[in-house]
Amino acid sequence: MAVPAHQRLRSQSDFQQVRSRGTRIHCGLFIVQYLQHAVAEPPAPRLGVIASRRVGNAVKRNYGKRLVRNLFRQHQAMLPKGLDLVVVLRSDFDSVPFAELDARFSTTCQKISAA
């Protein structure tokens, strides 16, 4: 099950806006940057994933992006509407089991919703 197009950050300007004006949370295995938009009718939260070549080869980068999209689908109900979220993968994301990634992402979502 994929993340629908209306829930993805697609343009470079969207990524730049979140990265320059957003709030950053370091999670060790990944960095989360988010920006809350104040609009009358907020849309569903949107996700963007960055996996540079420093993360690894194409197989490892795509695997990491699939994991992050899966985590986002599981925890998007915890996130406030109108939120843009950018996750930057670090090269050691695959050194821990999925349960640890899930716990870290869940904790990060709780921090974001409490802010």
Tell me: the pLDDT tens digits for 31-83? 999 998 877 667 888 999 999 999 989 999 999 999 999 999 999 888 888 89
What are the pLDDT digits (tens) for 81-108?
Answer: 889 999 999 988 888 999 999 999 999 9
1 in a structural domain: no
**Residue 97: what are its φ and ψ, rounded to 5°?**
-70, 160
- Whether pTM exceeds 0.75: yes
4 in a structural domain: no
- What are the respective helix, strand and coil percentages of the chain, to the nearest 5? 50, 20, 30
Domain residues for the domain of 37 are: 10-114
Task: Specify the pLDDT at position 82.
Answer: 86
| Alpha-carbon gap, residue 107 to 60, rounded angstroms | 24
**Structural domains counted in the chain:** 1
| Alpha-carbon gap, residue 35 to 109, rounded angstroms | 13
Task: Specify the pLDDT at position 80.
Answer: 87
Task: Specify the pLDDT at position 4.
Answer: 78
| Alpha-carbon gap, residue 9 to 25, rounded angstroms | 19
3 in a structural domain: no
Look up the CATH number of the domain holding residue 73.
Answer: 3.30.230.10
